[in-house]
Chains A and B, each alone.
Chain A
Amino acid sequence: MGRENFHRILDETQQNVLRMGSLVEEAIAKAVDALTRSDVALAEEILKADDYIDDLNVLIETNCLNLLALQQPMASDLRTIAAMLDIIIDLERIGDHACDIAQITKNLANEPLLRPPVDLPLMAAKAREMLREALDAFAHHDAEMAHKVPEKDDEVDRLYRRVFSELIQFMAKDPKAIGRASNLILVALYLERIADHSTNICERVVYMVEGVPKKLKRSVVEFNEFIAHSDEILSPHTEPAT
């Protein structure tokens, strides 16, 4: 494999990462759309499309490993390949979360309609924005942008807390809705994770461009933290746990 060929395959592989990214971005948008409209057909479509995301994942991984094994790349090429190997793991997980949300839409199809809290689509929009910007940062090798994206995670976490407390209160009022409401809590949890995966992607972009591994600022919301504070959420005049 000549040097020119190496760069061609490296370029193609980077494009495939973005291709995978576009599929994942669309999967999240469709998953949230299907959930809010109870559109089971769209949910099925998302579940089927995940196979293609997985195929791309395998293809990218194989190409990266081939490049590593056959070309012994160095410096920025090596970092790009290493970053891509990490980024596709995050993208694959995000794709799985889109499938999880689609599966929940299917599960809830036969249940009476429960309108998701208004903050849930907002949360989805914010998480998608983070992913889009993370992928833009990768496409343009833009470390400055990659540094900025994780700052938006705070907003996602704030919305997550609000969705969570709203749903807990809803369950307390109407125990028959516990099944549906807890499914929606899972949706919020997946969206929060998507934001975290986007932060991971940004970290890899910073490493790829600057050559220094860096942990970017993030606020972690532990699911257990909410369980521990459920009583507070349920007591009147108390702000949800922060």
Chain B
Amino acid sequence: MNRVWPAVAAAALVVVAGLAASPRGALHLGIVAACALAVAALVWTVTGGVERPGGRDPQAAAAVPRSGAPPAPDVLQTAVSPAAADAGSGRAGGNTRGANGAALGLAGIVDALPVGVIALGAGGRIDVFNAAAGDIFGVSPERARGRALIEIVRNSELDRRVAATIREGARDTAAITHLTSGAERHLVVTTLPHPALGPGGVLIIVSDTTRVRELEAVRREFVSNVSHELRTPLTAVKLMVETLQSGVDKAAREQFLSSIAQETERMIALVEDLLDLARLESGKLELRLGRVDVGEVCRQAVRAQEARAQAGEVRLACELPAEGLEVTADRDKLSQVLTNLLDNALRHTPPGGNVTVRTYADGDTAVIEVADTGSGIPSTALAHIFERFYVVDPARARGRSGTGLGLAIVKHIVEAHRGSVSAESELGAGSRFICRLPRDLQIPAHGL
């Protein structure tokens, strides 16, 4: 029986079990699941699998990549054969119970694992190089097989660790960085000796943690932003309460109490926005869909902001189609989109300016535009304005800052309606936010 695939699968399971026990266990749950598959197939191989005949598959033999490579075990045949990959990935189990079905099934499974698996056999040549390893190192697996590792992956740290594993016969796990054509990648690499792969055989398991690190950075930034946004009003409230406690005259007391109320409102708005966003992002928000007149929602939103616009000496106008425009949407959420966009426009439009809401039909799509004659957004910032807490110009925004979440919420709600939102802007001339919503949205009531 093919001795390499079961060996690779079993060793991969051991490594992955170790990784799952690490503090980043959650990350590796998927890996565990995938490896469980590999082990299931291994058990099948051992218990019910049909022994492979010793003869070489002529198609696979023809595909051995390099004449200089040492005689490869039969695994090389399955690894390089396109038929093997098809059989393994598509029909593991019943249909592959042919002459070499057992090995082919495992080859496909190892290839489908979400972690990079590289097996070095006799003479340090690559016997197994799965698709994930190909993605991580930017090499096609076909090119890698039969070659030395350094010819395929030039990473001195990995090279050193593999050499140490062969020399000392000990397993090793380390975080390393790898330079690619783009940015550098962060990898967690486990190397372990594996005599079943031949003299000096080594199994290398590689997880790409680049995305995890990026997400960790986003999370850190988010926590820091929320803390900052909450601390600012809290500090103000604390100072005012302390002043009140030390005794002030009636007029000052009234003023402080009014400021405290205002700061408290700001904190409540922030917390509510955060909860909204959390609900939207977790997909727990249920849209109560119905036929909604977009014009009506716009008129209501504009009416609600009129007093504020007048106070800021901004002209607020609506341009709505005469024949009416209906969409399938959640009225309250659509209203929140309009409110957030208007709030944003009014905050950035100086006295004497205009804010205009316009809706129109564009084929199967309803378009809602909110345009202002405000200060505009630099082109470098345009790509980021729908991110949480992104502030175009922190110095300028001070004093009239929103929660920094309004546009992120708009984006989530619009996308939950299978729509899109974009922004155009010219510095000094104004900005235009454009929401496009399908007029006849059809999604299951629960399904977002």
Structural contact, B150 and A15, CB atoms closer than 8 A: yes
Q: Which of A11, A14, A26, A140 contacts B143 (CB 8 A)?
A: A140
Q: Are B68 and A11 in contact (CB under 8 A)?
A: yes
The reply to whether B68 and A25 contact each other, CB–CB distance below 8 Å, is: no
Cα distance, A14 to B179, chains bound together (Å): 21
B181 near A22: Cβ-Cβ < 8 Å: no
Q: Is the CB of A11 within 8 A of B181?
A: no
Query: Could you tell me the distance between the alpha carbons of A135 and B152 in the complex, rounded to whole angstroms?
Result: 10
Q: What is the CA–CA distance of A29 and B148 in the complex, to the nearest angstrom? A: 24
Q: Is the CB of A25 within 8 A of B181?
A: no
Q: Are B151 and A18 in contact (CB under 8 A)?
A: yes
- B68, B143, B150: residue with the most chain A Cβ atoms closer than 10 Å: B150
List of A residues within 8 angstroms of B154 by Cβ: 18, 21-22, 25, 132, 135, 139
- Cβ contacts under 8 Å, A14 to chain B: 151
Question: Is A129 positioned at the interface, with any CB of B under 8 Å from its CB?
Answer: yes
For window 136-193 of A, CB contacts with B under 8 Å fall at 139-140
Complex Cα spacing A25 to B181, Å: 12
In whole Å, how far is B71's beta carbon from the nearest beta carbon of chain A? 12
B181 and A7 within 8 A (CB): no
Specify which chain A residues have a CB less than 8 angstroms from the CB of B272 in the assembled complex.
Answer: none
Tell me the smallest distance from the CB of B174 to a CB of chain A, in Å: 15
Enumerate chain A residues within 8 angstroms of B152, measured Cβ to Cβ.
139
| Chain A residue nearest in CB terms to B124 | A15
Q: For residue A15, which residues in chain B have a CB less than 8 angstroms away from its CB? A: 148, 150-151
**B166–chain A nearest beta-carbon distance, Å:** 14
Q: B150 contacts A18, CB within 8 Å?
A: yes
Pairwise interchain contact A22-B155, C-beta atoms closer than 8 A: yes
Complex Cα spacing A26 to B179, Å: 8
| B184: A residues at CB distance < 8 A | 29
With a CB–CB cut-off of 8 A, which chain B residues contact A140?
143, 151
Interface residue tally on B, bucketed by range: 10 to 19
Contact present for B156 and A26 (CB under 8 Å):
yes
Task: Return the CB mask of A97-129 against B: 1 if under 8 Å, else 0.
Answer: 000000000000000000000000000000011
Residue of A7, A11, A25 near B179 (CB, 8 A) is: A25
Q: How far is the CB of B423 from chain A (nearest CB, A)?
A: 26
On chain A, the residues within 8 Å of B179 by CB distance are: 25-26, 29, 128, 132
Tell me, yes or no, whether B159 is within 8 Å of chain A by CB: yes
Query: Closest Cβ of chain A: how far from B150's Cβ, in Å?
Result: 5
- CB-based nearest A residue for B155: A22
- A22 closest partner in B (C-beta): B154
A19 touches B156 (CB 8 A): yes
Known contacts A11-B68, A18-B151, A140-B143; A129/B156 CB under 8 A: no
Contact flags (1/0) for B121-165 with A, using CB distance below 8 Å? 000000000000000000000010000101110111001000000
Interface centre among B143, B152, B179, B181, by most A CB within 10 Å? B179
A234 to B148, CA, bound (A): 53
Q: How far is the CB of A57 from chain B (nearest CB, A)?
A: 15
A26 to B, closest residue via Cβ:
B156
- Distance, CA A100 to CA B49, complexed state (A): 61
Encoded as 1 (CB less than 8 Å from any B CB) or 0, chain A from 7 to 40 comes to 1000100110011011101100100000000000
Give min CB distance, B382 to chain A, whole Å. 21
Give the Cβ gap from B157 to chain A, nearest Cβ, in Å. 8
Select the residue from B156, B159, B181 with max chain A CB neighbours within 10 A.
B156
Q: How far is the CA of A128 from the CA of B182 in the complex (A)?
A: 11
- Chain A residues in 8 Å Cβ range of B143: 140
Distance of A14 Cα from B150 Cα, bound (Å): 10
Cβ-defined contact, B156 with A139, below 8 A = no
Residue of B nearest to A129 (CB): B181
6 closest pairs, A vs B, by CB?
A22-B154, A139-B151, A22-B156, A18-B150, A15-B150, A23-B156
11 CB-based A-B contacts, threshold 8 Å: A7-B68, A11-B68, A15-B148, A15-B151, A18-B151, A18-B154, A19-B156, A19-B159, A22-B159, A128-B179, A132-B154
